[in-house]
Structure 1
Amino acid sequence: MHLFKRLFLSIQPIALDLGLLIIRLSTGGLLMQYGFQKMQKFGEFKSAFPDPFGLGSKLSLVLCIFAEFFCSLLIALGLFTRLALIPLIINMLVVVFIAHANDPFSEKEHGLSFLFPHILLFLTGPGRFSLDALLFNRKGKKNISSFVK
C-alpha cells in the first residue's frame, strides 16, 4: 500500500512544478499563435471583428491580440502570471459564452480547452520554474509546492 500511495496518491513538489511549467508553456505557446495570426491579419479583421461590448471592432481586436499574444507570452515566461491571466480568462469567457453562445458545444470546446488551464494557473500560481518565482519569491514566502508533500 505504501508504494501505491507514493506512486499514485502523493504529488511530489517537483512534479507539481513541472506540471505547471508544461501547462504554462503549452497554453501560452499555443494561444500566442492565435494572437500572432490576428496581428498579421489586423487590416482584414479590424472592421469585421466581433464587438460584444460595443467598444468597436478595432478596439475589440486590439484587446483580443493583447490577451492572446502578449499575455500568453507572459504566461509562458511565468512573469506577472496571475495578472496576465485576468485578460486571458475574460477573453476565453467572451469566446465561449458570447462569441460562440449559439454554436454547438464542438465550437465552444476550443475556448474551454484554454479557459480551464488558465483558471487552474490563476488558482495555483506559475510554480517554481517561473520568472515570478525567481524574481518575487522572498524567503519564508510559501508557494504551492510547500503545501504538497
Structure 2
Amino acid sequence: MTKGNIDLGLLVLRVWFGLEMAIAHGLPKLQKVFAGDFTFADPLGVGTTTSLILATFGEFICGILIAAGFFTRLSTIPYIITMLVAAFIAHAGDPWGKMSFPLHYAVAAAVIFIAGPGRYSLDHKWFVKTFK
C-alpha cells in the first residue's frame, strides 16, 4: 500500500464518520439547543443542559472538524469520550447490538487520532511545513 492510498483511506474514514455523526446525531441535538429545548439525559450527573451541550459539541462540532481535517486529533478526544459515555453509560443496560454503534464511532475516531488526518486535510494544508 502506498502513502497516497493511506491518505485517501484516512480522508474517506474522516469524512464518513465525521459527517455521519454531525448530521445524523449532532444536528438534531444542535436544533434542540437552538429551539431552547434542553431536555436530555444526564448520564454524568452534570445536569441535562450541560449534558446536551457537551454531547452536541462532541457530535456536531467535533464531527465537522474531523470531516474537514481541522484540529483533527484534538477533535477526536471529545468525540471519543461522547461515544464511550453513550456506549457504557447511556446504553449500559441495552443489548450489545445497541452498545456497539457508538463503539464503532469511537474506534474510527481512535484510528484517526493514532494515524492523524492524512495529507488531504486542512491540518496538513495549514500546519505541515514542507521544505523544497
Q: Is the contact made by 1:35 and 1:68 (CA closer than 8 Å) also made in structure 2?
A: yes
Question: Match of 2:7?
Answer: 17
Question: Match of 1:27?
Answer: 17
Identical counterparts, % of pairs: 43
Gaps (5+ residues) in structure 1? 1-10, 141-149
| TM-score for the superposition, normalised by structure 1 | 0.82
- Given candidates 38, 43, 60, the residue that maps to 1:46 is 38
After TM superposition, give the deviation of residue 41 of structure 1 in Å.
2.9
Which of structures 1 and 2 has the bigger CA Rg? 1
Q: Is the contact made by 1:88 and 1:118 (CA closer than 8 Å) also made in structure 2?
A: yes
Q: RMSD in angstroms over aligned alpha carbons? A: 1.4
Corresponding letter in the other structure for 1:71: C
- Alignment coverage as a number of residue pairs: 129
Question: Match of 2:115?
Answer: 124
Q: Does the residue aligned with 1:97 lie in a helix, a strand or coil?
A: helix
After TM superposition, give the deviation of residue 65 of structure 1 in Å.
0.4
Gaps (5+ residues) in structure 2? none
Query: In 1, distance between residues paired with 2:79 and 2:48?
Result: 18
Corresponding letter in the other structure for 2:65: L
- Given candidates 42, 47, 60, the residue that maps to 1:56 is 47
Question: Match of 2:28?
Answer: 37
Q: Is the contact made by 1:45 and 1:61 (CA closer than 8 Å) also made in structure 2?
A: no
Summarize deviations over 1:5-56 as a string: whole Å, max 9, x none. Answer: xxxxxx1111100000000000011000111111223458513x11122210
| TM-score for the superposition, normalised by structure 2 | 0.92
Matches within 5 A, 1:1-149: 11-33=1-23, 34-42=25-33, 43=35, 46-47=38-39, 49-139=40-130
Corresponding letter in the other structure for 1:31: M
